[in-house]
Each structure stands twice: as structure tokens, then as C-alpha cells.
Amino acid sequence: MTAPFDAEAHVDHMAVLIDLPVDPAWRPTVVATLAATAGIAALVNSFPLDDHVEPAPVFEP
């Protein structure tokens, strides 16, 4: 089992890694947006796919 995603720690780590200052006034919004994005990604990743399903090489509407 993996640990739950820690959006606050991830924001702090990535800000240092990419040398991006995060204004303290905006930090709660950045953390909330990252947490929401992680939740959406978890939903997408949890969708079951058959073994024979492969991604399309080119998007054609």
C-alpha cells in the first residue's frame, strides 16, 4: 500500500526542485489545486481497462 498523496510536501519539494518561488499568499491555492488534480488523476487511473485496450496513436475527432 502506498502512502496518501501529500500535496503540501509536493508543492514544497517541487518549488525547490524547479527553483520556482511560491508566494505565501498563493500557497494554499496552489496546494488545493494540486490536491484536486491528484484526486482526478486517481479516478482516471482507477478506471479498469481490458488487457487488449491500447491508446490511440493519433487523436482524430
Higher pLDDT, 1 or 23: 23
Q: How far apart are CA 29 and CA 45, in angstroms?
A: 24
The grid coordinates listed for 2 are 502506498
Backbone angles phi and psi of 45, in degrees to 5 = -70, -20
- The per-residue pLDDT for 60 is 77
Max CA distance (Å), the chain: 47
> Would you say the pTM of this structure is higher than 0.85?
no
- The per-residue pLDDT for 3 is 82
For the chain, what's the residue count? 61
> 34 and 9 in contact (C-beta within 8 Å)?
no
pLDDT per position as a tens digit, 11-45: 999 999 999 999 999 999 999 999 999 999 999 99
In the chain, % helix, strand, coil (3-state, to 5) comes to: 50, 0, 50
pLDDT confidence band for 1 (50 / 70 / 90): low
